[in-house]
Structure 1
Amino acid sequence: MLKRSRALASVAIFAVAAGMGAPVWAETLQEAIALAYRTNPSLLAQRANQRALDESIVQARAGLRPRLDVTVTGNHIRDFNNETESDSASASIGLSQTLWSGGRIGHGITAAEAEILAGRENLRDIEQTVLASVIQAYADVIRDTEILRIRQANLGVLQRQLEEASARFEVGEITRTDVAQSEARLAQSEADLANAQAQLSVSRASYAAVVGQSPGDLAPMPVLPGVPNDFDAALDVALLDNPGIRAAAYNLRAAEANVAAAKAEYMPSARLTASYGGSNNDFDAFSDIGDNAELTVGGSVSVPLFTGGLNGSRVAQAFERANVAQINVEGERRNTLQSVSSAYAQAISARSSLEAGVEAVRAATVAAEGVRQEAQVGLRTTLDVLNQELELRNAEITLASARRNEYVAQANLLAAMGRLEGADLDPTLTVYDPADNYERVRNRGALPWDSLIEAVDRIVAPPITPANDAADAPIDQQLKSEIVQTAPRH
C-alpha cells in the first residue's frame, strides 16, 4: 500500500508539472529557476494577492462616477381605530454624481496607487526569497551529492585497508589491535555514509518542494551575475533597490495621502442628484404608477459642522499611522544595512574558507599518499594511515561545504541588494509584469468625465504634507560609516 501511494504521488506530481508545461527534468540552475518562477505556490499566491490589490484602484476611482439606484416599495396600512385598510406602492430610479468631495476621492486614489506600488515591491521581495531558496536548494543538493561521493570513496578505501590489515595480521606483520582499528573506522564510515544518504534525501525533498520536481543530475553552479566586490557599492545599491525599503516608502506615501483624505472630511462636498418615479395607493394599479411619475433634478452642498469628534479622531489616527509608516522606513533601512553587511561578511568568510579548503585538500592528499607508502615499509602504523585518511575526507567535505556557503552567501547578498529577480538570473526568462494587470483593470467602468471630476476634486483640497520626507531622507551617516568600517574586505 505504501509503495502504491508513493507511486501515485509521483505520478500526480509529474502530471501537474507536465500540465504546466514544465520540463521533465531540471538539470541546470536556470531551468530550476524558470520552473520555480512559473509554478512555486508562494510566488503564484503573491501574484494573485497583487492582482486583488489592483482592484483597490478601481474601487477608489469609482467615487468619480455616478451612482444609479432603483427603489421599489410597497406598504399595507391597517388603522385599528377607524378599522380601515389602505395600500401604497412606489417606484423610482435615482442618479447621484459627486462633483466635489473636498479631496477625499482624489487622495483616496493617490493612497490606492501608492499601496499598489508597495504591493509590487512585496511581490519582488517574495520573488527574491523564492529564488534564493531555489539557489540554496540547488547548492545543497550539489554539496550533499559530493559529500555522498566522498563517503562512498572513503568506505571503499577503508574496506581495502581492512582487507590489507587482515592479510598482514595473518602473516604476523601487525597485531590484532591494528585490525580492530580498521574495523572500527569502517563501521564509522558506514554510519557516515548512511547519514550522507539521509541528508541528500532531505536536500532533494527541499529542492522538489521549492522547484516543483525532483532534481536530476545537476550541472555545476554557474557564476551569479552582479555580485559586487565592494561593500560600499553593495550598500548603495541596496538602499535604492531593496524591496523592503521601497515598499516602506510607498506605504509612507499612502499614509500621508490618508492623512490628507482625513482632513478633507472637514471640507464641503457637492453632489448632483436626479430621480424619476411615482407612487400609487392601490397594489392592483401598480402598473399605472408611470401615470403620475415625476422627474426631479437638483444639487446639494453638504458642510460638516459637528461630528461628535469623529473627524478629529480620524485625522489623529491617520497621523499616527503616518508616523508608524515613517518609522518603518528607517527600520527597513537598518534591516537592509544588517542584511547586506551580514551577507557580505559571510561571502568573504566563505571565500577564505574555500581558498583554505583547496589548499587543505591538496596537502592532505599528498600527506595521505605519503603515509600509505611509509606504512608499507613499516615507518607508519595502521592508525596513522587511518587518521590521515580521515583528515583527507574531512578536508574534502569542508571544501564542498565552503563552495556551497560562498554561493548561498552571494545569493543572499544579491537578494539584500534587490538584485535577485528572475530577469537578473536568466535574461531569457519570460517575466511576470504586475503592471500589465494594473493597466488592464485601472479604467474598468471609466466614463468620459472621470479626469475632469478628479481634477476638480483636487482643487482646494488639503495638500499631502510629508511627515518628514523620510522616503527620500539619506540614511544615518554615522550608522552607515560604522558598518562600512567594520565590514570585511577582500
Structure 2
Amino acid sequence: MGHRGTARGSRRSGRNAFATQFGPGLRRAASAALLALAPFAAEAETLGDALAFGYEYSGLLEQNRALLRAADEDVAQAIAALRPVVSYAAQASVGAPLGGLSDYQIDQSLSVSAQMTVYDGGANRLAIDAQKELVLGTRAALVGVEQDVLLRIVVAYMEIRRSQQFVSLRQNNVRLITQELRAAEDRFEVGEVTRTDVSLAEARLAAARSLLAAEQGGLAQAIGEFRAAVGRAPGDLQPVPLADVPATLEEARAIALRNHPAIEEAQRNVAATELNIRRAEAAVRPQVTVNGRLSADLEGNESASLGLNVGGPIYQGGAIASQVRQVMARRDAARAGLHVVSDNVAQNVGIAWTGLEVARASDVALAQQVTAATVAFNSIREEATLGARTTLDVLNAEQELLTARADLISSQVDETIATYRLLSTMGLLTAEHLGLAVQIYDPAAYYNLVRTAPSALSEQGRALDRVLEAIGD
C-alpha cells in the first residue's frame, strides 16, 4: 500500500504544480467538462452499459475483424489453387507483302485454355490446412483485442468514479476548512487564539482549493479517457459490483492456461508451421497437371488439344533443403514462443491475483483507519471548542481523515479493477462471458461464406458483395 500511496502523492504533487501554473484555465476546462457531462447526469449508466456500447462501436475491434476477414480469404485462395484455371486469348494481326500493301490479309483467332493440377504431393492440401490454422489463430488474436478494449473501458469507468469521489471529498474539505477558518476568526476576535491560527487556516483553505481544482482537472481527464475508450460521454455512473473470480490462484492459472487467447494463438502458429514443414518437403515430389486448349480462326480452322504434364525438381542447388530447414527453424521458434506465452500468462495471473489480494487487505485496514480517524477528528474538534486543542490540531486531524477516506476510495476502486484485470489474464473478459446485452460477433460467419471460394458471378459471390457493402456502410 505504501507504493500506491507514494505514486498517488507524486501524482497529486504534479497536479498542484500544474494547477499553480495554469490554475484559472484548468478550472475553466474542468468546469466545461463537468457542464458537458451534465446532460447525461439524469440517465443512470452501469458498467455493463458502457461495456456494451464500447463493444459495438469500437474502431479497434472493427479493424481486427477486417483483418480476420482477410485471413479467411487466404483459405479461399488456397482452395482455389486446387481448381481448374480457365482463360481465353483473342488475337488479330494484319499482314501484307512489301510493296503490295493493297494485298493485305487479316488473321484472327480465339482460344480457350484450361489447366488443373491433379497431383502435387499434397502441397496445396497442406497449404489449405495451414491457412485454416492461421485463421483460428487470428480469431484468438481478435479475442485478445476484445479483452484489451473491454479492460480499458473498465479502467476508464472506475477512474471516473474515483475522480468523482475525490472531487466530492475535496469539496467537503473546502467546506470544513472554511468553517474552521470562520471559527478561528471568531475565537481570534475574542482573544482565544492568535493571528497565527487564523493564518494557518487561511493557508490550509488555499491549499484545499488548489487541490480541489487539481481533482476537477483529473476528473476532466478521466472523462476524456472514457470518451476515447467507450466512444461517447459518460452518464451517471453507478457503483460496480466485484466480478466473480476463482477461489484460489491455482484455479485461476488453470483456467488461464486453458482459455487465454494468446496461448491459443501461439498453439495455432505451431500447428501451421508443422504443416508448412510437410508442405516444403512436398516440393521434391513430382507435379502432374492436365492442360486443354480449344482454338478457332476466321477461316473455320478449329483445333483442340489435351495434354498431361509430369515434372519435378532434380537439382536446385540445395534450395529446397534450405527451405525445409528454414521452416523447421520457424517451427522451433513457434514452439519456444508457445512456452514463453504460457509462462507470461501464468505470471500475469499471479500478478493480478497479488494485486487483488493487496487491495482486499487494504480495504479492511483502511476502513478501520477511517473509523478511527473519524472518531479522532470529532473528538479533537470538540476539544478545540473547549480550548483544549489548537486550530492546527483540528486541521491536522481533518487532513488525516481526508487522507484515510481518499485511500479507502482508491483501494476500493483498485479492488474492482483488479477483479476485472484478473478475468482478463484468465481469458474471460469477453462480451460473451460477461453476458453483455449485445449481438456477439460471430468470427465464423464470414468464413462460412468464403470457405468454398465462390466466384464473383455465383449467387454466393453476390451475397458476399452485399455483406461487404453492408459492412462498409
TM-score computed with the length of structure 1 as normaliser: 0.81
Aligned match of 2:275: 257
Find 1:432's aligned residue among 441, 445, 457. Answer: 441
> Is the CA contact (8 Å cut-off) linking 1:29 and 1:222 kept in structure 2?
no
Aligned match of 2:82: 64
After superposition, give the CA deviation of every residue in 1:429-456 in whole Å (9 maximum; x if it has no partner): 321110111112211328xxxxxxxxxx
Find 1:162's aligned residue among 169, 173, 181. Answer: 181
Aligned match of 1:268: 286
1: CA distance between counterparts of 2:257 and 2:331?
Answer: 21
* TM-aligned CA distance change 1:260 to 1:86, over 3 Å: farther
> Is the CA contact (8 Å cut-off) linking 2:295 and 2:303 kept in structure 1?
yes
Find 2:141's aligned residue among 117, 122, 129. Answer: 122
Aligned match of 2:338: 329
Q: Secondary structure at the match of 2:371?
A: helix
Q: Secondary structure at the match of 1:38?
A: helix
1: CA distance between counterparts of 2:104 and 2:338?
Answer: 68
| Deviation (angstroms), 1:305 | 1.4
> Is the CA contact (8 Å cut-off) linking 1:26 and 1:215 kept in structure 2?
no
- The code of the aligned residue for 1:137 comes to A
Q: Secondary structure at the match of 2:146?
A: helix
- The code of the aligned residue for 1:384 comes to D
Find 2:390's aligned residue among 370, 377, 381. Answer: 381
2:115 maps to 1:96: yes
1: CA distance between counterparts of 2:58 and 2:259?
Answer: 24
Number of corresponding residues:
417
| Deviation (angstroms), 1:88 | 5.0
After superposition, give the CA deviation of every residue in 1:1-41 in whole Å (9 maximum; x if it has no partner): xxxxx9xxx9xx99xxxxxxxxx967111110110010011
> Is the CA contact (8 Å cut-off) linking 2:270 and 2:334 kept in structure 1?
yes
Aligned match of 2:158: 139
- The code of the aligned residue for 1:136 comes to V
Aligned match of 1:28: 46
- The code of the aligned residue for 1:437 comes to Y
| Deviation (angstroms), 1:303 | 2.1
The root-mean-square deviation of aligned C-alpha atoms, in Å, is 2.4
- The code of the aligned residue for 2:85 comes to R
| Deviation (angstroms), 1:96 | 1.0
Aligned match of 1:298: 307
- The code of the aligned residue for 1:232 comes to E
Percent pairwise identity: 35
> Is the CA contact (8 Å cut-off) linking 1:99 and 1:270 kept in structure 2?
yes
> Is the CA contact (8 Å cut-off) linking 1:26 and 1:32 kept in structure 2?
no
After superposition, give the CA deviation of every residue in 1:390-431 in whole Å (9 maximum; x if it has no partner): 000111110111011111111111111101101111254321
Find 1:179's aligned residue among 184, 188, 198. Answer: 198
Aligned match of 1:108: 127
| Deviation (angstroms), 1:168 | 0.8
| Deviation (angstroms), 1:307 | 2.5
* TM-aligned CA distance change 1:36 to 1:427, over 3 Å: closer
> Is the CA contact (8 Å cut-off) linking 1:25 and 1:213 kept in structure 2?
no
| Deviation (angstroms), 1:75 | 5.0
Find 1:391's aligned residue among 400, 403, 409. Answer: 400
> Is the CA contact (8 Å cut-off) linking 2:121 and 2:283 kept in structure 1?
yes
| Deviation (angstroms), 1:85 | 8.8
| Deviation (angstroms), 1:77 | 7.2
Structure 1 residues 363-382: aligned runs within 5 Å: 363-382=372-391
Q: Secondary structure at the match of 2:309?
A: strand
Aligned match of 2:227: 208
Could you tell which deviates more after superposition, 429-438 or 115-124? 429-438
2: CA distance between counterparts of 1:316 and 1:90?
Answer: 48
- The code of the aligned residue for 1:261 comes to R
> Is the CA contact (8 Å cut-off) linking 1:36 and 1:134 kept in structure 2?
yes
1: CA distance between counterparts of 2:437 and 2:232?
Answer: 21
Structure 1 unaligned regions, length at least 5 = 1-5, 15-23, 280-287, 447-490
Q: Secondary structure at the match of 1:115?
A: helix
* TM-aligned CA distance change 1:114 to 1:31, over 3 Å: same
Find 1:230's aligned residue among 244, 248, 255. Answer: 248
